[in-house]
């Protein structure tokens, strides 16, 4: 049984730590829920498979195994690997054998490089694979990352890094032991609008930063925790904050250039709505930075669509709206030096992220969005939930750990 293997390897990798995981997860989440189970899914709607398999572009290209053939892998990442100069798909891992065969044929992945979750650990003997990309529900990020490191592979892991800071620490430790790279797939760090916004804020284009607002919301259709993993606590954690609000949290940190020293937050879980039987509908957070700047972050699965990042300084306001999507960004500064910005094509963020990871592996260059950044964010998310649960302001150490 796949999950028995993964659980065992996780416990071996983390020792006694694993025993604390259930407690940590439930302490930050609204209700108890059943254990996470790996389960292959049908081919998502709207997937366009390549008519001819993509070709490897360079001799030193990094062979990557895609773990989880879901919507994000098939619609966004796998087609973009062809745009990344130094990466190619070397293997696939899936719990749905028919989909694995269909996708494997379309992408030209050899039949002996198609793995199930149960036989994933055999990748240790597969020299075609240098790295894996974990694109599974959050509950499985730590397990597959640690198993990939045990097999001697580098790891690119989707956001959020894991369900708890304890899991994140175990992932980082496993990467260090294996002497392999760990990158969290925070694609906005490679997207031209957000990169330009970071530069503008460093150069004080709106003066001294005073107020930041981020809003990441959409209204989810009818669903239940059994139908959709994003609404299942055991698979996703507390809900919109980990999934979508994490973009606003990230923006507040990389636009301010600061770590918050305190957090206060509120959560809302409506009664009688099957969508929110296990997770929160929305989370509202206030971060206070050492400079005195304040960020207000809102995220919801039950409010009209929004994807905004706004920084109000002493001399003007930077507005990115939409801020963190796959495409369609708009950015302007209002105030003393008003102007619009079109710094580049946002869709290049995918290939840029993949090449950054490949270059780090081949040239041993540092990773911009490493495990420590993922851990930092999960610590902040834990502090947000602690604040909301306990109805108090939580003070933070510079690494995001809660004080007291």
Of residues 118 through 137, those in contact with ligand NDP by CB under 6 A are 135-137
- In angstroms, rounded to a whole number, what is the distance separating the alpha carbons of residues 357 and 81? 12
Dist. CA 377–CA 331, nearest whole Å:
25
Give the pair of three-digit tokens for residue 367: 């990773």
* x/- letters, 272..311, toward ligand NDP (CB under 6 A): ----------------------------------------
332: tokens are 């302007």
Residue 297, CA distances (Å) to 179, 200, 285 in order = 36, 21, 5
Does residue 214 contact residue 256 with C-beta atoms inside 8 Å? no
If binding is defined by CB under 6 A, does position 223 make contact with ligand NDP? Answer: no
Nearer to ligand NDP, 34 or 208 (CB): 34
Q: Does 158 bind ligand NDP (CB under 6 A)?
A: yes
Pairing assessment for the beta strands 302-313 and 282-288 based on DSSP bridges: unpaired
CB of residue 136 to ligand NDP, shortest distance in Å = 5
Q: Could you tell me the smallest distance in angstroms from the CB atom of residue 290 to ligand NDP?
A: 29
Interface with ligand NDP, residue 262, by CB under 6 A: no
Q: Does 95 bind ligand NDP (CB under 6 A)?
A: yes
Specify whether the CB–CB gap between 279 and 269 falls below 8 A: yes
User: Among candidates 272, 209, 2, which has minimal Cα distance to 115?
Assistant: 2
153 noted as active-site residue: no
The answer to whether 185 contacts ligand NDP (rule: CB under 6 A) is: yes
Query: What is the rounded CA–CA span in Å between residue 50 and residue 74?
Result: 10
- CA dihedral (172, 176, 178, 179) in degrees, to 10, reads 130
CA angle 278, 279, 280 (to 5 degrees): 140
DSSP string, 67-126: E--SHHIIIIIHHHHTT-TTEEEEEEE-S-HHHHHHHHHHHT--GGGEE-STTGGGGGG-
Give the DSSP H/E element, type plus range, for residue 37.
none
70 in contact with ligand NDP (CB under 6 A): yes
Q: Interacting stretch for ligand NDP, rule CB under 6 A, among 65-73, 104-112, 172-180, 329-337? A: 65-73
DSSP-derived pairing of the beta strands 282-288 and 294-300: antiparallel
342 binds ligand NDP (CB under 6 A): no
By C-beta, is 381 or 396 nearer to ligand NDP? Answer: 381
> 20, 24, 26, 41: which one contacts ligand NDP (CB under 6 A)?
41
Task: Give the contact letters, 230-249, x = binds to ligand NDP (CB under 6 A), - = no.
Answer: -----x-------x------
- Residue 287 CB neighbours (<10 A): 27
Q: Does 269 bind ligand NDP (CB under 6 A)?
A: no
Residue 39 annotated as catalytic: no
Check binding of 53 to ligand NDP (CB under 6 A): no
Residue number, 158 or 215, with CB nearest to ligand NDP:
158
Q: Which residue is nearest to ligand NDP (CB)?
A: 70
**Which residue out of 159, 244, 254, 385 is catalytically annotated?**
159
| Selection from 160, 151, 113, 116 nearest residue 131 by Cα | 151
Interaction of residue 44 with ligand NDP, rule CB under 6 A: yes
Our finding on whether 373 is near ligand NDP (CB under 6 A) is: no
Nearer to ligand NDP, 221 or 404 (CB): 221
Q: What's the min distance (Å) between Cβ of 391 and ligand NDP?
A: 29
Q: Binding to ligand NDP by residue 37, rule CB under 6 A?
A: yes
Question: Which residues contact ligand NDP by CB under 6 A?
Answer: 37-41, 44, 68-73, 94-96, 99, 135-138, 158-159, 185, 187, 229, 235, 243
Catalogue the active-site residues: 159, 247
């Amino acid at each position: 049984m796949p999950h028995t293997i993964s659980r065992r390897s996780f416990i071996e990798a983390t020792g006694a730590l694993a025993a604390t995981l259930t407690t940590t997860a439930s302490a930050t989440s609204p209700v108890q829920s059943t254990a996470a189970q790996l389960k292959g899914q049908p081919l998502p709607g709207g997937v366009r498979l390549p008519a001819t398999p993509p070709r490897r572009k360079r001799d030193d290209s990094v062979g990557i195994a895609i773990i989880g053939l879901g919507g994000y892998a098939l619609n966004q990442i796998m087609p973009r690997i062809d745009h990344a100069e130094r990466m190619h798909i070397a293997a696939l891992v899936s719990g749905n054998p028919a989909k694995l065969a269909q996708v494997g044929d379309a992408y030209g992945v050899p039949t002996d490089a198609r793995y199930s979750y149960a036989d994933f650990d055999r990748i240790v003997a597969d020299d075609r694979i240098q790295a894996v990309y974990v694109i599974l529900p959050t509950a499985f990020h730590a397990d597959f990352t640690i198993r990939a490191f045990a097999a001697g592979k580098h790891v690119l892991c989707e956001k959020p890094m894991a369900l708890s800071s304890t899991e994140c620490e175990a992932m980082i430790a496993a990467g260090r032991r294996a002497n392999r790279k760990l990158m969290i797939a925070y694609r906005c760090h490679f997207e031209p609008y957000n990169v330009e916004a970071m530069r503008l804020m460093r150069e004080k284009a709106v003066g001294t930063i005073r107020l930041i607002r981020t809003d990441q919301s959409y209204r989810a259709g009818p669903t239940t925790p059994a139908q959709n993993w994003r609404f299942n606590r055991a698979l996703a954690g507390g809900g919109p904050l980990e999934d979508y609000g994490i973009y606003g949290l990230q923006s507040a940190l990389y636009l301010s250039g600061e770590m918050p020293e305190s957090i206060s937050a509120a959560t809302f879980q409506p009664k009688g709505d099957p969508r929110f039987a296990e997770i929160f509908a929305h989370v509202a957070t206030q971060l206070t930075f050492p400079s005195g700047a304040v960020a207000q972050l809102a995220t919801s699965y039950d409010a009209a669509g929004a994807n905004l990042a706004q920084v109000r300084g002493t001399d003007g306001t930077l507005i990115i709206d939409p801020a963190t999507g796959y495409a369609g960004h708009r950015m302007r500064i209002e105030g003393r030096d008003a102007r619009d910005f079109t710094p580049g094509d946002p869709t290049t963020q995918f290939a840029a992220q993949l090449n950054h990871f490949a270059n780090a592996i081949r040239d041993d260059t540092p990773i911009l969005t490493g495990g420590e950044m993922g851990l930092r964010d999960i610590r902040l998310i834990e502090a947000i939930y602690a604040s909301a649960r306990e109805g108090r302001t939580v003070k933070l150490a510079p690494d995001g750990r809660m004080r007291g």
